[in-house]
A and B are shown apart, each in its own frame.
Chain A
Amino acid sequence: MNIGIPRALLYYQYFPMWKTFFEGLGGEIVISPPTTKDIIASGASRVVADTCLPVKVFLGHVLSLIGKCDYIFIPTIRSLKSKIYNCSKFLGLPEMTRAVITDCPPILDVTIDMNKGMRNIYRAIDKLGRCFTRNTSDIKRASLDAWQVHLDYRRLMYQQSFIPPRAMETIAGLDDAGGSSSGTETSYGSPASTEPAIALIGHPYLLYDEYLNHRLIHRLEKAGNRVLTPEMLTSEELESASVKLAGTTYWTYGEEVVGAGEHYLREGADGIIGVLTFGCGPDSLMMEMVRRRASKLKTTPFMSIVLEEHTAETGIITRLEAFLDMINRRKRDGR
């Protein structure tokens, strides 16, 4: 059975986990290709204009999977902590996909809602597993393996400061080579280095989609900067910083913005770039919180980049260059 996974939205957070789970149950994974202009255009053509860019990209990826898989996996992450909900777009994702893409392959949907308790989540996972096998112990084993891989994946990011694409490569490499910790032992995670550290804050589906953000990480590294991202912090660090800035988290993935923003404003970064999309509801308020905190603290320069379909690469490059020039000047002056 071929299971299609769109390379968008939650892919960057959970892909290794999903892969282990489905392969453990005898499924085969088909990933959509990296984002292209055509993918965005095809996704955007299906929805109303003011739908946010990440959702358009997601639908484009779903469209590119049609005919290549038997099922498409679209989970609904409603809530990961009690009383903290996800944004509306995530809550209705499977239903919206079904409504706007009528020729969509059957959707494998699992609802994760912490408000209803752990048992409910176990039951949801079990139900998902039953699409493949009737053997409960197989499902249990596959989900435990998957969770272990997810923990490893997270650890690679916050211990060794890998960004998700590299962590994914490493995990896949471990799989093939049977445990040798080969891979890209580059300068990441060596805080002693003198190059400026630029922290990117925002959701993974923006930071690691190279087409969407016009190869932001690549550009920063090429200009001789060390890149920090929210994933390089432990969830405890994110949570405590987030509480400091804005009280208890409000949206499920809010800590990637508020928590990481507050943390990097206080320590570890020479400059912060907030990446958001036009029309993102949660970010429109959370970035404002970070921006206001930055202008009050006056310790770390902050810039935000707003992405949408019409964002021009040149505009981003110009602003990036100006920002980096300023950081370098500050560093040289020893401020």
Chain B
Amino acid sequence: MRVSFQHIGNMWVGLKAVADRIGFDMVVPPITSQRTLALGARYSPEMVCLPFKLTLGNMIESLELGADTLITIGQYGPCRFGYYHRVQEVILRDLGYEFELLKQSSGMLRMIRYFTGGASLREIFLAFRFGLAKLKALDDVERLVHKVRAVEQVKGSASQVFRDATRAIDEAKNYRAIKQAKLLHLQKLRDIPTISSVNPLKIGVVGEFFVVVDPFANMDVEIELGKLGVQVERPQSVLEWLDFNPFTLLLGLREKERSFKAAKPYLSRYIGGDGLQTVGEKVLHAKDWDGLVHIEPFGCLPEIMARNIMPSTVEQLPVLNLMFDEHTGRAGVINRLEAFVDMIKRKQKSHLDMRV
């Protein structure tokens, strides 16, 4: 049995660690590329959203590498994401691939036990803890990367360190190695020469989870913002999504629950996907962010609802909306980001002038 999965941001680092620990055969699909997108888009229904196309592309590429068992994470809910795997299964079978599809709906634990080849609960728990530790280390590095990108003297240095860090953390064999890799790269980031005189703008990147955490899908929005001297704040991450820590959940400490609460006056119910969180983040961070870049795949149901509701909030915050699908051009995205950042700067300047 050769197990494979679909890419969601940097989740592969964690899953690979799980496979290494337990010792079952896992095919990591090639990092999402233009080819993945082209393959996915060719066989997808025309009106479906971008994550469907990308994950279908991932599935095809891992089947090409000899995978015979695919893990999907579809469940139930109002968003299309949970329904993906049923259509993807039909499409792949029509293409002639033979494979087994594991669905989360048959029970998360049973699914994990199946694809790990009947590993014991203790083994599974320890392996997943190890995987999460890697994701945690990556998140810690990435948070500093966002800060450094805004002020680095040579653009691209922080991104280079982040790439190295990803590789080092991925290769780490034990907790100590993870910690060392993390500390080493945090130090490297601090050593990057910075422009000290500027006080960078703080812009939040929120929206549909998949596109937010996948740099290919969002055309490196964070890097482009960094080039413009903006410090990116990104509350959503794979780690946050996988975090089932009962304490943070119960106490409502997670960013997600806090944003749900903040959204209450404007949208009091869960509408699927991340629509509710998007509205909430705007309200929650109206004071401490200078702007918000709202990203979503074209045609995303919950985010369209969020986009309709957001302008009516009392809390004001400039919002730029970016939609992504296979026809999105990088130049168009960069152009709009530049204009958005210019607008915020001009607005803040005119406020200062008025005060004087």
Spot the interface stretch: A86-94, A164-172, A211-219, A317-325. A86-94
- Chain B stretch 20-56: residues in CB contact (< 8 A) with chain A: 45-49, 52
- Chain A stretch 186-233: residues in CB contact (< 8 A) with chain B: none
Instruction: Contact check, A92 vs B45: say whether CB atoms are below 8 A apart.
Output: no
Chain B residues within an 8 Å CB radius of A246: 86
**Which among A92, A102, A111, A247 is the interface contact of B305 at CB below 8 angstroms?**
A92
Chain B 303-341, CB within 8 Å of chain A: the 1/0 string? 011011101100000000001000000000000000000
Chain A 41-68, CB within 8 Å of chain B: the 1/0 string? 0000001101110000000000000000
**Which among B76, B86, B90 is the interface contact of A85 at CB below 8 angstroms?**
B76
Instruction: Contact check, B82 vs A289: say whether CB atoms are below 8 A apart.
Output: no
Closest to B44 in A: A288
Instruction: Contact check, A282 vs B90: say whether CB atoms are below 8 A apart.
Output: no
Contact of B180 with A by CB under 8 A: no
Given A51-B304, A85-B76, A247-B86, are A284 and B309 neighbors across the interface (CB < 8 Å)?
no
Spot the interface stretch: A22-30, A138-146, A262-270, A273-281. A273-281
Instruction: Contact check, B268 vs A95: say whether CB atoms are below 8 A apart.
Output: yes
When chains A and B are docked, how far (Å) is the Cα of A282 from the Cα of B48? 9
Contact of A76 with B by CB under 8 A: yes
**Which among A50, A250, A251 is the interface contact of B298 at CB below 8 angstroms?**
A50
When chains A and B are docked, how far (Å) is the Cα of A136 from the Cα of B259? 38
Given A50-B298, A51-B308, are A281 and B269 neighbors across the interface (CB < 8 Å)?
no
Contact of A84 with B by CB under 8 A: yes
Given A78-B269, A279-B299, A281-B49, are A99 and B275 neighbors across the interface (CB < 8 Å)?
no
Contact of A100 with B by CB under 8 A: yes
Given A96-B309, A99-B266, A99-B309, are A87 and B76 neighbors across the interface (CB < 8 Å)?
no
Looking at the assembled complex, report how far the CB atom of A314 sits from the nearest CB atom of chain B, in whole angstroms: 22
Contact of B301 with A by CB under 8 A: yes
When chains A and B are docked, how far (Å) is the Cα of A277 from the Cα of B47? 10
A-B contact pairs, 9 of them (CB 8 A): A91-B272, A91-B305, A95-B266, A102-B312, A280-B47, A284-B46, A284-B48, A285-B80, A296-B94
User: Residues of A at under 8 Å CB distance from B?
Assistant: 47-48, 50-52, 76, 78, 83-89, 91-92, 95-96, 98-100, 102, 111, 246-247, 250-251, 278-282, 284-285, 287-289, 292, 296, 306
- 3 closest A-B pairs by beta carbon, nearest first, are A284-B47, A99-B312, A288-B45
